[in-house]
């Protein structure tokens, strides 16, 4: 899979943190989204790792950098999609600082922090709850 990823020119990442209450363990998933040479959208889970507390922006940024380095995609990332948690804001700020000093970001980092996915999900859930009775029928 790493060989096929080496042919990808641009990749977008999504990441989310999940907490297991039963095990008291935090997990981070990183998924890569890219279009291949046949213009087909692809999605691959690049990492599912245990992230010990504290789940600060600095810790999350370090984990994301490890994933990007492991997959050798750091210079091809065009966007990172996260939810609207404050730690994600700090994580993205840290990544922007790290990236801007070392390489040129696509579109001058305009698409590097997109936090609307979680908000959009909440809006859809709220809208569906209004018509839940109709849906169940």
Paired with 16 in beta bridges are 29
- Is residue 25 within 8 Å of residue 14, measured between CB atoms? no
- The tokens for 60 are 């999350």
pLDDT at 118: 63
Listed as ranges, residues in the chain with pLDDT below 50 are 104, 107, 111
For the chain, what percent of residues have pLDDT higher than 70?
A: 85
Quote the domain boundaries for residue 52: 2-136
Q: Of 28, 29, 36, which is closest to residue 11 (Cα–Cα)? A: 36
21 is written with which tokens?
């209450």
Give me the number of domains the chain comprises: 1
Q: How far is CA 10 from CA 20, 23, 41, in A?
A: 32, 36, 12
In tens, the pLDDT along 119-135 reads 677 778 888 888 888 88
Q: Which of 115, 81, 97 is nearest to 11 (CA)?
A: 81
């Amino acid at each position: 899979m790493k060989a096929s990823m080496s042919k990808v020119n641009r990749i977008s990442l999504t990441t989310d943190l999940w907490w297991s209450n039963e095990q008291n363990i935090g997990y981070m998933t990183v998924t890569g989204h890219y279009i291949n040479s046949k213009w087909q959208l692809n999605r691959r889970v690049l990492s599912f790792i245990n992230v010990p507390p504290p789940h600060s922006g600095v810790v999350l940024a370090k984990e994301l950098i490890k994933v990007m380095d492991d997959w050798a995609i750091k210079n091809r990332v065009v966007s990172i999609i996260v939810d609207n948690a404050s730690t994600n804001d700090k994580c993205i700020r840290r990544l922007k600082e790290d990236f801007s000093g070392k390489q040129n970001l696509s579109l001058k980092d305009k698409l590097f922090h997109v936090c609307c996915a979680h908000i959009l999900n909440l809006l859809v859930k709220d809208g569906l709850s209004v018509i839940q009775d109709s849906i169940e029928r």
